[in-house]
Amino acid sequence: MALAGKVALVTGSTSGIGLGIARALAREGADVMLNGFGDAAQIERLRAEITMEHSVRVHYNGADLSDPLQVAALVSTTQRELGALDVLVNNAGIQFVSPIEDFPDEKWQAIIALNLSATFYAMKAAIPMMKSKRWGRIINVASAHGLVASANKIAYVAAKHGVVGATKVAALEVANDGVTVNAICPGWVLTPLVEQQLKDRAAASGGDVASEAVKLLEEKQPMLSFTSPEAIGEMVVFLCSDAAATITGSPLSIDGGWVAQ
Ligand code: NAD
């Protein structure tokens, strides 16, 4: 129970990677604020299940993090309801795939707002409290696309490169305040976000989702297997540990060799 008594906010934790991270932090004893969209009854079932399983406090707040005011409010609500904010995981993210010339302006704005700007606003709101406690962990979920590009993902790649840059700046600013700031850069993780891309690809090619999954991996990853949300949860737990106290400002890959090429 390495994180007993700590409070964690995981954005976009009603699904996929964020949910894997929230479960791993709760297992280590952290109280958790869940956030994200979805069916209210299903989210309540998740909240109750994690509470029961790990005997920690689990709250939920459905803030829309594409709105800067709601990001700041989520941070202050976490502090008010759970008494602190020790671990901030900026994970909520969306994707849209199109060549630049057809890329809708509103999709660019939505992706930059959520995938990049929300990370800035959440760090801005959380850092003062972490500095005053002289302990904090900020983990920004970037992507292999924070380090290298792919065609047709202009907004996502720009936002994730921005997240890596913002991570480095924040790490420098709090280097001697007991706070570390790192980015995790996953390759392919099988979550609803990628399942949607697989369905779109199958619809476009006339193929099936299973064969599109193999093709998707082959295009980018030397290792032909998906990373699990659970593995990313374990990586976050490690970054919160004492052993990771001097890891800061790092984009940490978990990508089956994607960016080694
Ligand atoms: P997902 O679609 O399963 O989950 C996204 C989460 O964000 C959900 O909880 C959703 O409700 C929430 N969300 C969406 N819009 C929101 C908003 N406006 N405000 C608050 N919450 C919102 O996706 P995922 O694959 O788990 O992705 C999580 C993160 O990991 C994203 O930042 C994504 O870019 C990144 N990532 C994913 C992969 C992958 O292969 N799946 C790879 C690299 C990086």
The predicted-structure confidence for 194-212, as pLDDT tens digits, reads as follows 999 899 999 999 999 999 9
| 87 and 212 part of one domain | no
Q: How much is the pTM? A: 0.98
Residue with the nearest Cα to atom 44 of ligand 1?
A: 143
CB atoms within 10 A of CB 4: 10
Looking at every residue in the chain, the average pLDDT score rounds to 97
Residue 39 pLDDT grade (very low, low, confident, very high; cuts 50, 70, 90): very high
Q: From CA 207, how far away is CA 201, in angstroms rounded?
A: 8
| 126 and 222 part of one domain | no
Residue 61 pLDDT grade (very low, low, confident, very high; cuts 50, 70, 90): very high
Which of 164, 191, 219, 225 for mutating ligand 1's site (highest number of atoms within 8 Å of CB)? Answer: 191
Inform me whether the pLDDT recorded for 193 exceeds 90: no
CATH of the domain at 151: 3.40.50.720
Which of 17, 47, 150 for mutating ligand 1's site (highest number of atoms within 8 Å of CB)? Answer: 17
- For this structure, is 121 an active site residue? no
Reported as a single tens digit per residue, the pLDDT across 226-242 is: 999 999 999 999 999 99
pLDDT of residue 225: 95
| 79 and 51 part of one domain | yes
pLDDT of residue 95: 94
Q: Which of 156, 188, 226, 258 is catalytic?
A: 156
**Number of domains into which the chain is organized:** 2
- For ligand 1, the distance from its centroid to the CA atom of residue 28, given in whole angstroms, is 23
Residue 258 lies in a domain: no
pLDDT of residue 1: 79
Question: CB within 6 Å of ligand 1 — which residues?
Answer: 11-18, 35-38, 64-66, 91-94, 114-115, 141, 143, 186, 188-189, 191-194
Reported as a single tens digit per residue, the pLDDT across 108-141 is: 999 999 999 999 999 999 999 999 999 999 999 9
| 14 and 132 part of one domain | yes
Residue with the nearest Cα to atom 32 of ligand 1?
A: 93
Full residue range of the structural domain in which residue 116 is found = 7-187+227-252
Atom of ligand 1 nearest to the CA of 186: 43
pLDDT of residue 261: 96
| 52 and 171 part of one domain | yes
| 59 and 176 part of one domain | yes
pLDDT of residue 96: 94
| 173 and 221 part of one domain | no
Atom of ligand 1 nearest to the CA of 66: 18
pLDDT of residue 242: 97
Residue 106 lies in a domain: yes
- For ligand 1, the distance from its centroid to the CA atom of residue 97, given in whole angstroms, is 15
Residue 257 lies in a domain: no
| 222 and 232 part of one domain | no
pLDDT of residue 197: 86
Residue 77 pLDDT grade (very low, low, confident, very high; cuts 50, 70, 90): very high
